[in-house]
Amino acid sequence: MALIGEGEGHGGFTLLHALGAGYGCSVGIDLSTKVRLRDNEPKKSADDPSGVLEAVVEAWVAAGLEKPAEELFWQVRSTVPTGQGLKSSAALSVAAIKALCEAGEVELTNAQIVDISANAQMSSGVSMTGSVDDAWAAIEPGWKIVNPNLPAAEGILMEGEFPSPEDWKVLIVMRGDRELLPDAQRFAQVAPQFEKAIVAMEQGALGVALTENGRATSNALGDGRGRRLANDLLVWGARSAGISGSGPAIAALVPSFNESVLRRIEQLAEQRGHDTIVTDLWTA
């Protein structure tokens, strides 16, 4: 035997940062991670410096599930940038769990996959909260406001589709490697600043939530440059913009019908030395 299972998970950007808001919410984008699971060693194995794949196997076994083979080998292909706040770890863990399901002929609900993903991300140290909202964004289109302290099936407070996803392009501005790490105490200190983002989500104003959450996150991280760049994107023509996750990437929403504005924003960002990615919201 060789290939025994495959799986896919999507990247995303943040609408509510769970550390600051108390509730998490992310939305998937059309960037994804594809995982292939083998029972023999391939010529090129997956590069996984954070140990997410090993943690996934441990969480799988801890959930009472059997490994589909004594030795497991992984191959990964991904368009989700790592270490940028774009949910690469959630995409990887969800894809790996799906591959394990296929290999072992195991049927799990999406909520069960999210729970295993959260346990794996916590144990590997890539997340302080389990990134439950990120895992939901990796496995289902649309958005969910979740309580990360409850099992995935019980923790969904609100959910919905992104309004008119075809009307938007998602512009990702990359700012190099992550230098500022999240500190739970600093996020707690600025927790009231996330209230505007929470209210926006309750009103269905998802673009406003992206911007307000990004501003609160930049204050929690002490990332003044990120906040200024997000504000510049708004001046240049984006309808909303904010730091995604704990950064450093900034996600912006630009009307899809206005290609000239999108090109101008790309050019201005690149003139400042930033790489950019243009993608779409992930739909079913």
State pLDDT tens for residues 246-282.
999 999 999 999 999 999 999 999 999 999 999 999 9
Task: Write the pLDDT tens digit of every residue in 150-192.
Answer: 999 999 999 999 999 999 999 999 999 988 888 999 999 999 9
Residues 245 and 186 in one domain: yes
CB 80 within 8 A of CB 88: yes
Indicate if 120 and 241 belong to the same structural domain. no
**75 and 175 assigned to the same domain:** no
Check residue 56 and report its DSSP letter: H
Longest dimension (CA), the chain: 56
For residue 173 the two structure tokens come to: 């501005």
pLDDT of residue 284: 80
pTM of the predicted model as reported, rounded to 2 decimal places: 0.95
Query: What pLDDT shows up at residue 40?
Result: 86
Residues spanned by the domain of 144? 3-160
Whether 129 contacts 18, CB under 8 Å = yes
Residue 122 is predicted with a pLDDT of: 95
Whether residue 109 is contained in a domain is answered as yes
Q: Which of 135, 160, 185 marks a domain boundary?
A: 160
For 130-150, the pLDDT digits (tens) are: 899 999 999 999 999 999 999
The CA-based angle 232-233-234, given to 5 degrees, is: 90
- pLDDT of the residue at 213: 98
Looking at the domain assignment, is residue 267 inside a domain? yes
Q: Is residue 284 part of a domain?
A: no
User: Exposed, middle or buried: residue 260 (CB in 10 Å: 0-12, 13-18, 19+)?
Assistant: exposed
Looking up tokens 């406001």 gives 145
State the number of CA atoms in the 13 A half-sphere of 275 facing the CB.
Answer: 7
**pLDDT tens by residue, 78-113:** 999 999 999 999 999 999 999 999 999 999 999 999
- Do residues 178 and 151 share a domain? no
Confidence band, pLDDT 50/70/90 cuts, at residue 1 = low
For residue 59, the model assigns a pLDDT of 98
Q: Does residue 269 lie within any of the structural domains?
A: yes
Beta bridge partners of residue 220, listed in sequence order: none
- Residue 272: its H or E element: none
Average pLDDT, the chain: 95
Q: Provide the CATH number for the domain around residue 199.
A: 3.30.70.890
149 and 8 part of one domain: yes
**137 and 202 share one domain:** no
State mean pLDDT over 219-230: 96
According to the model, what pLDDT value does residue 82 have?
94
What is the predicted pLDDT for the residue at 97?
98
Here the CATH number for the domain that contains residue 149 is 3.30.230.10
pLDDT at residue 56 tops 60: yes
What single DSSP character describes residue 4? E
In a domain, 40, yes or no: yes
Asked whether residue 146 falls in the same domain as residue 33, the answer is yes
Task: Looking at the structure, tell me whether residues 195 and 242 fall in a common domain.
Answer: yes
Q: Of the residues 120, 143, 160, which one is the last residue of a structural domain? A: 160
